[in-house]
A = this chain, B = another copy of it.
């Protein structure tokens, strides 16, 4: 998605060989117009998939997921990160390890919002090791629903998450795929298929 790549080039800050900061339009400050365009792009890439629900994870996944939900005219659910959930019974839960933050979160979704007839599109802001996506997949599978696809705003293609998910047969669409962050520069994966699609 050229608009997104341009935004990353203009405003992304490379903090290290593995960390890209996009706080100015995605993770802290949000550009609503860009989110709308991202929603349109995801809705095109997953058109005709019969999607009935979008599942994301708080907090940075919410804006792109809601704009995609608006385009596809389906509800959006955000999984909550919580340490303990002793008071609530009807939850689907999984565990997500964050390597960047060096912490493990239990994530949860109320089971009444995903049922076995749902075709679920998983949306998230970043894909690196794939831990968040795997946690969300686990929850969808616990609900016996179908995973219609996985939409990622920015994929760190130099980490293994994306390949791992594609190897498992999931339909993964990433709007910007980063090949490398070395020497402080953002290098995108050159994607012929993606260019032809435009």
- Residues of A whose CB lies within 8 Å of any CB of B are 23-25, 28-33, 35-36, 58-59, 62-63, 66-67, 69-70, 73-78, 80, 109-110, 113
Contacts and interface: CB of A to CB of B under 8 A. Distances in A.
- For this chain, the copies found in one complex come to 2
A77 B25 CA distance: 9
Contacts of A36: 70
A58 to B, nearest CB: 4
Interface of A is mostly: mixed
B23 A75 contact: no
B30 A69 contact: yes
A32 B75 contact: yes
Nearest to A30: B76
A52 to B, nearest CB: 12
